[in-house]
Amino acid sequence: MALFSAPPQSLCILRLSAIGDVCNAIAAVQAIRQQWPETQLTWIAGKAEAALLTPLLPDVTVIAFDKKQGFKGMQAVWKALKGQRFDALLHMQSAIRASMLSVGIKAKYKLGFDKARASDLQQWFTNVKVPSPASPHVLDGFMAFTEALGLKPQVPTWTLPLSESDIAWAKGQLSTKPALVVAPAASKAFKNWTAEGYAGVIEHALDKGFNVILAGGPGKIEVELGQAIENRLTRPVTNLIGKTTLLQLLALEQEADLVLAPDSGPAHLANAVNTAVIGLYAHHNPARTGPYNWRHYVVSVYAEAIEAETGKSANEVSWRTRVKDDTAMQRITIDEVISRFDEVIQKEEIGS
């Protein structure tokens, strides 16, 4: 049953991280804004995520939580919210840190995941359990919050107002050739494909006349993988790993023709700006965490990896079951990704 028959005055969204999940949650928040334009929205997000959200959601109050400050960081958020009481809190992060933070947020209703999706004791911190949708996807779980509030069901969409300077910068990295952005690294090394694999696909893309750009964050994992890929290439490519802001990366993916990435933030960023993306998956079920509008282009070995590890098919295990084998991504072959690359450029009519 819907909580509100008329638009509430104020709502608070609690989703701290990670970049990909926050990017998915944007669609749910913008659905609220579209149907209830007068409702005041406040979003509490991690420090890096808040830096991305603030310029993209100018009509939402974004409050940054610095997890490195621990309890002092929570106190800073509570101080920023002093005197405010929301009609509802959308507790969209099933993590104990987020739940502890929610204690100091005043709201009549505190919505959280139901038994099927809640973890880390989240159920003890909420008084409204949002029914899980039939789809296991993270974004569909977020959209279920909007329906629990009383919004009409709608297809997730994103409107991301990038600055003219970021768009101009991104266009400056491109040429007249079709552009492939390869964001090779996730924050956790076990999610990454091999340098040999990426190099093989990049060589194929270069043969097809593509301008190839490596992109990603400044972390050691990202930088070292980018260097390893470059060392295996016979021709130069543009390496922007560690040299862009998140907003520049988003603009670059928006202006590109195709993105190749593992289960990571850049895959979801590409989805949000409606750029075709080939996601590489082994550890998580892409039906749950794949780039939402491009799941049909995913190259996934999740099913075979989970069966090898558990002796059960993907349909026989919980939708949230993760493959623990750190070498699972090596099951993906170069030929599989090249085949998908060729399929995508043909179907999307990219290049000559």
Whole-angstrom CA distances from 160 to 93, 221, 265, 269 are 22, 28, 16, 10
**Interatomic CA distance for residues 351 and 64, integer angstroms:** 41
**CB-based burial label for 310 (10 Å; 0-12, 13-18, 19+):** middle
In SS3 terms, the chain reads as CCCCCCCCCEEEEECCCCHHHHHHHHHHHHHHHHHCCCCEEEEEEEHHHHHHHHHHCCCCEEEEECHHHCHHHHHHHHHHCCCCCEEEEEECCCCHHHHHHHCCCCEEEEEEECCCCCCCCHHHHCCEEECCCCCCCHHHHHHHHHHHHCCCCCCCCCCCCCCHHHHHHHHHCCCCCCEEEECCCCCCHHHCCCHHHHHHHHHHHHHCCCEEEECCCCCHHHHHHHHHHHHCCCCCCEECCCCCCHHHHHHHHHHCCEEEEECCHHHHHHHHCCCCEEEEECCCCHHHHCCHHHHHHCEECHHHHHHHHHCCCHHHCCCCCCCCCCCHHHHCCHHHHHHHHHHHHHHCCCCC
- For 235, the token pair is 């021709």
- For 340, the token pair is 């998908």
- For 132, the token pair is 């899980």
49, 24 contact by CB (below 8 A): no
**CB 163: neighbour CB atoms within 10 A?**
13
Query: Mean pLDDT over all residues of the chain?
Result: 97
**Interatomic CA distance for residues 60 and 43, integer angstroms:** 7
pLDDT in tens, 91-138: 999 999 999 999 999 999 999 999 999 999 999 999 999 999 999 999
**Interatomic CA distance for residues 294 and 281, integer angstroms:** 13
Per-residue pLDDT of the chain (352 residues), as tens digits, is 799 999 999 999 999 999 999 999 999 999 999 999 999 999 999 999 999 999 999 999 999 999 999 999 999 999 999 999 999 999 999 999 999 999 999 999 999 999 999 999 999 999 999 999 999 999 999 999 999 999 999 999 999 999 999 999 999 999 999 999 999 999 889 999 999 999 999 999 999 999 999 999 999 999 999 999 999 999 999 999 999 999 999 999 999 999 999 999 999 999 999 999 999 999 999 999 999 999 999 999 999 999 999 999 999 998 889 999 999 999 999 999 999 999 999 999 998 6
Residue with tokens 């309890």: 71
User: What does residue 274 show for φ and ψ, rounded to 5 degrees?
Assistant: 60, 40
Does the N-terminal peptide bond of residue 98 adopt cis geometry, omega within 30 degrees of 0? no
Q: State what percent of residues in the chain have pLDDT above 90.
A: 98
pLDDT in tens, 322-352: 999 999 999 999 999 999 999 999 999 998 6
